[in-house]
Structure formats: structure tokens, C-alpha cells
Amino acid sequence: MKTICRQNLVAAVLVGALAFTTIARANDPLPSWNDGSAKKSIIQFVTKVTTADSPDFVPVPERIATFDNDGTLWAEQPMYFQIQFALDRVTALAPQHPEWKTMEPLNHLVAGNTKAFMAGGEKSLMAAMAATHTGMTTEEFSKTVNDWITTARHPKLGKLYTDLVYLPMLELLVYLRANGFKTFIVSGGGIEFMRPWTERVYGIPPEQVVGSSCKLKFEMRDGKPVLMKLPEVNLIDDKEGKPVGIQMHIGRRPIAAFGNSDGDLQMLQWTTAGSGARFALIVHHNDAKREWDYDRTSPIGKLDKAWDEAIAKKWTVVSMKDDWNTVFPR
């Protein structure tokens, strides 16, 4: 009898502990975030803008949150993934473009000499972008992106690019939406490069993606309307272009913005300059073991001026190493 009682007691305690853990986990909207000032600042902000009798309460329609993509929602090393896509596309398209064999700088890529190509810097990249991102319809381009993103793998990590998104940021997107926020991407990356997969990967539909774009032209082709991608810049949605992109697409100032580099500085300035409660967060890549370690001097994702301003203005800075217990979902 006594034994049975003790066994029952032990079982009850075990079940209770398990239930407690489960409840604690279920109650934690950000389980991949370690307890610390970054996580605390997020939860405090969301709580105060969503609490009806709080002086900082914000009505649902005004709960706009904008996220940079490269380096904020997914990785960006050793080169922006969209650049890798462009290089892969040059190689794939080369057989249809024999003229590229003698055309600087694409000839280097066609010959498999990526190093010589990359030595051309931005000029080379623009040539690859023009050759692979324009001169087709929006639907043709979308299909190409879909084919690539579901098969191509990161050269160093061997994973699908869509597996190189940050689990803590996915949780943050879900948490914000559960609290009435509309989540937008505001990225220097191409708007048409992101839209084919952001809904599946981030739960962000195409109409909530803001990005760099080329001009489009409406045409009739065999009696069917198409939109051609022209080799002319429409918007560079980076730095000063981010608040412009936000106003053009959203038309309402975000109350929260999330970035990781100097390219996001103006978006964070624009967001925090509004009245009422505002939130700005920067992801600091300082995790060489699980991801990468770079900031002030990195050619990609340089975090210098925005870091200084974050410290001066007490914006939330996330230490990837210390604040995240998990980086990638798998």
C-alpha cells in the first residue's frame, strides 16, 4: 500500500513536472531566444502596445513591423544568395548565349573562372543581374527562382537556402502576427526574387514584400498580356531607399523594424522617429561557430554606423551567440 502510494506520488510529480515544462514552453512565444535583455525588450514592447489600457496601446491596423531579409531573416555569407542565384543562372543560360563566351565580364563565369569574374566587383555583378533578371516576363522569372530555391544548396553549409533562415526570427514573425501585427519584408534584395517563396518560408505573402525592383512593361504577346522585366532600375530598396520603399508600398510608418546592417539604418531611423511606442532591433552576427562573425569591416552586411546609432539610441542589439539557443530550424 505504502509502495503504491509512493509510486503514485512519484508518477504524479513526474507528470506534474512534465506538464509544467510543457506549459512553460507553450507559454514562451520565443523558445529559441535565451532569457536576456533582447528577448525581454521584445516581449515588453509587444505587451505594452497590445494592452488595451496601456498608454502605449496601438490599434491593430497600425501594428506594422518591417524586416530586412539578408542577414536578418536568413544568412548572407559568403555572398548574398541572390548573387549566387545570378551566377548559377549565367552558367545555366550560357548554352543559349554563345555570345557570352567573348563578352566581358560574363566570359569569365562561362569559363568557370568565378574569381576573375568577381574581381570586376559591382560592375560584374550588375552585368550578371542584367543578364539573368531582365528580358523575361515576371512569370518566367518567378518559375526560375522557384526551380533554383527548391534545389540549389549553399556552397559551404550544403543546405537548401530556405533552411538558412533563422529560427528565432521565424518565431518572432509568428509572435508578432499572433499579436495583431502585419509583418513586411523591406529588403535591398529583389522583390521578384523573394516573392516566390516568402509566403511558404516566412508566412509573408507577396503583397507584404518590399524590395529592389526593375521597371516593368505591359505587353501583349500572342494575344496574352505579359509583364516584361526591363533592364532599368525602378527602386534600390536599400539605405535611403528603404523608407521610400516603405512609404510607396505600405504608406504607413512601421512601429517596429528589424535589421542587421548599415543598409537598415534609415529604416530604423524612420521607424523610431514616429510618435508613440517604437521598437528597433539589430541582429549582430558574432557567432563564428554556428553562423558567421562579422560587423564593422565586412564587405557584406557591414554593421558600423547603425551599430553606433543603436548604442546611442538604446535600440535592441541581438548577440547571435548569446541571445539565440538555436540558429537554423534544421
- Residues in contact with a copy of itself by CB under 8 A are 61, 64, 138, 182, 191-192, 195, 199, 205-209, 213, 216-218, 224-225, 227, 234, 240-241, 243-244, 247-252, 266, 269-270, 273
Q: How far is the CB of 60 from a copy of itself (least distance, A)?
A: 10
Nearest to 278 by CA among 319, 314, 321: 314
Which residue's CB is nearer to a copy of itself, number 270 or number 328? 270
d(CA 201, CA 210): 16
Q: Which one-letter amino acid corresponds to residue 232?
A: E
Q: Is 73 exposed, middle or buried (0-12, 13-18, 19+ CB in 10 A)?
A: buried
Q: How far is the CB of 165 from a copy of itself (least distance, A)?
A: 20
Q: Is 1 exposed, middle or buried (0-12, 13-18, 19+ CB in 10 A)?
A: exposed
Q: With beta carbons less than 8 A apart as the criterion, state whether 176 and 29 touch.
A: no
Please give the DSSP secondary-structure letter assigned to residue 330: -
Q: Which residues contact 115 (CB under 8 A, 6 or more apart)?
A: none
Query: How many residues are present in the chain?
Result: 330
Which residue's CB is nearer to a copy of itself, number 214 or number 320? 214
Which residue's CB is nearer to a copy of itself, number 123 or number 200? 200
Q: How far is the CB of 138 from a copy of itself (least distance, A)?
A: 6
Q: How far is the CB of 268 from a copy of itself (least distance, A)?
A: 10
The set of cell numbers assigned to 273 is: 522617429
Which residue's CB is nearer to a copy of itself, number 143 or number 159? 143
Q: How far is the CB of 279 from a copy of itself (least distance, A)?
A: 16
Q: How far is the CB of 18 from a copy of itself (least distance, A)?
A: 37
Q: How far is the CB of 191 from a copy of itself (least distance, A)?
A: 7
Which residue's CB is nearer to a copy of itself, number 269 or number 319? 269
Residue 276, Ramachandran bin (φ over 0: left; ψ between -120 and 50: alpha; else beta): left
Q: With beta carbons less than 8 A apart as the criterion, state whether 68 and 261 touch.
A: yes
Which residue's CB is nearer to a copy of itself, number 126 or number 250? 250
Q: How far is the CB of 8 from a copy of itself (least distance, A)?
A: 48
d(CA 316, CA 41): 7
Which residue's CB is nearer to a copy of itself, number 243 or number 259? 243
Edge-to-edge strands of the sheet including 256-259? 224-235, 209-221, 182-190, 64-67, 256-259, 279-284, 316-319
Q: How far is the CB of 180 from a copy of itself (least distance, A)?
A: 13
Which residue's CB is nearer to a copy of itself, number 253 or number 284? 253
Please count the other Cβ atoms lying within 10 Å of the Cβ belonging to residue 37: 14
Please give the DSSP secondary-structure letter assigned to residue 165: B
Which residue's CB is nearer to a copy of itself, number 55 or number 223? 223
Nearest to 257 by CA among 63, 70, 120, 47: 63
CA atoms within 13 A on the CB side of 274: 22
